[in-house]
Amino acid sequence: MLVAFRAADSRDAHFWSYTEVPLECLHGSEMYNLVQDVYLSKPGYDLALSLGVSVEDDVLYGVFVKGWDVEETIPSSQSALCVYSMATVEKIFLENIELCFKGETSKVSSNLGSFFFLM
C-alpha cells in the first residue's frame, strides 16, 4: 500500500508537492504485503507509551496479510496488525520532500516504522 501526501511549500508556489511512501508491515524478515483495512484513531495509554506518542496523537492501524503465490498477490491466512504514528508518517513525507527539493533523491526514506502484532 502506498500512502500519498500533498504539501504546500514556499519553494513550490505554483505546484503542490506530491509524494508516496510504501506502507510496509514487517516482522523480522517477514513481509505482510497485502493491506486488508486501515483505521485512523487515537491510541490507548499503553500503546501510546510503546509508540512514544501522546494519547491525543493520531495513529494509523493497518491489518495486513502475507501473499503466498509467486507474485505474492494471493492472500494467505497469516495476518498481522501494524500501527503507525501519524506524526512519524508526516515527518518522513516532509523529510522526503525536503530531500527532493535539495536534489538528494538517493537519500529518500520509506521507513515509517511500526508497532507489530501477530494475529
Domain ranges of the chain: 2-118
State pTM to two decimals: 0.74
Q: Give residue 72's pLDDT band: very low, low, confident or very high (50, 70, 90).
A: confident
Asked whether 1 and 35 are in contact (CB, 8 A), the reply is yes
Neighbours of 90 (CB within 10 A): 13
- Opening angle at CA 57, ends 56 and 61, nearest 5: 120
In Å, how far from its chain's centre is CA 11? 26
69 secondary structure, DSSP code:
S
Q: Give residue 115's pLDDT band: very low, low, confident or very high (50, 70, 90).
A: low
Q: What is the pLDDT of residues 4-37, one digit of tens each?
A: 555 555 666 655 566 777 788 988 888 898 999 9
Q: Give residue 116's pLDDT band: very low, low, confident or very high (50, 70, 90).
A: low
Beta-strand pair 34-41/30-32: unpaired
